[in-house]
Amino acid sequence: MNIGIEATTITGAKGGFGDKSGVYRYFFNLVKSLSQVISKKDKLFLYDIYQFALKNMSADLLPILRQDNIYGSLIKAPRSFKLEYTQIDDMPVIRWFAKKIDKYVIEPMSDRLVYGQFIRKINTDLEQNKIKVFHVSETVYFATPGIKQVATVCDIIPIKFPDFQKEETVKIHMRRLRFIREKSDAIIAISANTKNDLVKELHFNPKKVFVTPLAADEAFKPVSRTEVLRTFQKVNEEIEISKNTRIDYKKYLLFFGTLEPRKNLGVLLEAFRDLKKSGQYQGKLVLVGGRGWGKIQQRLRAFVKENLLQKEVICLGFVSDGILNDLINGAQAVVYPSIYEGFGLPPLEAMQAGTPVITTNVSSMPEVVGKAALLFNPADLEALKAYILNINIKPNLARELSQKGIKQAKKFSWKKTAEQTLEIYQRLARQRKT
């Protein structure tokens, strides 16, 4: 069986925190594990729709593409026509008018024409490669006549929380979800909670929606104190220069993830401030994550300054997986106060590394962490403060959570995810396209 996967989320990643989001980790680890579980007769084609790989091939992807039955396929998009591409743009008198004509007349017409040509080109390539099943990511969506289509839906957060998004973003996601509901032959949800959202709120056919949970990347694992301290030495050199402070082993709380409104960092900051003011907690708070949206960074800085926490709250921005794993291992606990997740990889990654986790009891979090973490209502400030104190003063509780977390994380594996996904492909390939 020949399988096609729209891999733009992988080929377009340049290494930033936003690039290597949950969507990236899902598709990269799925492709990596599929390459290990498919038979020698099967072929896997990775489609780069926007030709990112021509400019910056991900080093992570190279070992996979070296396999005999794994192929990379670049689809060159036709160029849109614009007046600015002609000699007219060189005439100062009419340049302004040309730009307006481009924007309001030519671009809309040209884009529709070019898009149609582009999709036909992709479908021709799929037919030539004898693709039986085509798996699309969140980047693009289009019909594949005669070829079974699988779509992954990580969450419907823009629909459930429109106030957290731009209006246009909500509309785009709604169009995409409607298309998937009507055109896809199978839909993969990354958690039972996401499937429940699709079925109950957007009226997806439950028989077409399959749950294939994610797993933590193998980069996250327990490491020795010596390794952690080696990383601390490098990190502290930068912190001491900029903030005249430092972090110490098992003397800080850690949050990692994109800084955005639904991560609910406000309740974590308030809990930390209260515990510092009362003298009940002497450690620091370390935040690791790329800039998201919603002016979270500005609000964060203002809160820290207003409460005189400049030496207590340390923002590290993007770090590599290796450094992140050491920071997780060195933390007293990972606190993840999110009000909604499609799956929730950070708590699972922390548990796989053996660090106690405090997270919320909403959306997919309970099905991910099971009974191996401390769960609280995301609006319950007092409950969060109590859990932080419990881990701080009860070393036996911390050890128990560490052991339970490692055991819970073993219930998830990318091999299992790949096998479940391959089973969906095989089931569709046996059906006739309607």
> How many C-beta atoms lie closer than 10 Å to residue 336's C-beta?
26
The alpha carbon dihedral of 131, 136, 142, 145 has a sign of positive
What's the pLDDT at 85?
46
Is 434 among the domain residues? no
Residue by residue, what is the 3-state secondary structure of the chain? CEEEEECHHHHCCCCCCCCCCHHHHHHHHHHHHHHHHCCCCCEEEEEECCCHHHHCCCCCCHHHHCCCCEEEEECCCCCCCCHHHCHHHHCHHHHHHHHHHHHHHHHHHHHHHHHHHHHHHHHHHHHHCCCCEEEECCCCCCCCCCCEEEEEECCCHHHHCHHHCCHHHHHHHHHHHHHHHHHCCEEEECCHHHHHHHHHHHCCCHHHEEECCCCCCCCCCCCCHHHHHHHHHHHHHHHHHHHCCCCCCCCEEEEECCECHHHCHHHHHHHHHHHHHCCCCCCEEEEECCECCCCHHHHHHHHHHHCCCCCCEEEEECCCHHHHHHHHHHCCEEEECCCCCCCCHHHHHHHHCCCCEEEECCCCHHHHHCCCCEEECCCCHHHHHHHHHHHHHCHHHHHHHHHHHHHHHCCCCHHHHHHHHHHHHHHHHCCCCC
Angle subtended by helix axes 167-183 and 192-202, to nearest 10: 90
Residue 139 lies in a domain: yes
Q: Would you state the pLDDT for residue 405?
A: 99
The answer to whether residues 25 and 109 belong to one domain is yes
Do residue 258 and residue 171 come from a single domain?
A: no
Q: What is the pLDDT of residue 56?
A: 59
54 dihedral zone (left: phi>0; alpha: psi -120 to 50; beta): alpha
Residue 232's identity, in one-letter code, is F
pLDDT on residue 177: 96
**Residues 55, 140 within the same domain:** yes
Do residue 308 and residue 390 come from a single domain? yes
Based on the structure, what is the number of domains in the chain?
2
Pair (364, 418) in one structural domain: no
Sole residue written with tokens 């207003």? 306
How far, in Å, CA of 317 to CA of 239, rounded? Answer: 12
Residue 118: inside a domain: yes
Residues 188 and 297 in one domain: no
Structure-token pair, residue 65: 């593409």
Range of the domain at 315: 225-409
Residues 187 and 48 grouped into a single domain: yes
CATH of residue 184: 3.40.50.2000
Residue 185 lies in a domain: yes
Q: Are residues 18 and 98 in the same domain?
A: yes
> Are 310 and 304 contacting, i.e. CB atoms less than 8 angstroms apart?
yes
pLDDT tens for the chain, residues 1 to 434: 999 999 888 876 655 444 566 788 899 999 999 999 999 999 999 988 766 555 556 677 788 888 889 988 877 665 554 444 444 444 554 555 556 555 555 555 555 556 677 778 888 899 999 999 999 987 777 889 999 999 999 999 999 999 878 888 899 899 999 999 999 999 999 999 999 999 999 999 999 999 999 999 999 999 999 999 999 998 888 787 677 789 999 999 999 998 889 999 999 999 999 999 999 999 999 999 877 776 888 899 999 999 999 999 999 988 989 999 999 999 999 999 999 999 999 999 999 999 999 999 999 999 999 999 999 999 999 999 999 999 999 999 999 999 999 999 999 999 999 999 999 999 999 986 55
pLDDT at 343: 96
> In this structure, are 236 and 358 located in the same domain?
yes
Amino acid 142: pLDDT:
85
Within a domain: residue 345?
A: yes
Q: What is the pLDDT of residue 82?
A: 46
In a domain, 220, yes or no: no
Is the domain of 191 the same as that of 140? yes
Query: Is residue 252 one of the residues assigned to a domain?
Result: yes
> Cβ of 236: how many Cβ atoms within 10 Å?
16
Examine the domain organization and report whether 102 and 24 are in the same domain: yes
Residue 198 sits in the same domain as residue 344: no
Q: At what angle do helices 225-243 and 321-330 cross, to 10 degrees?
A: 100
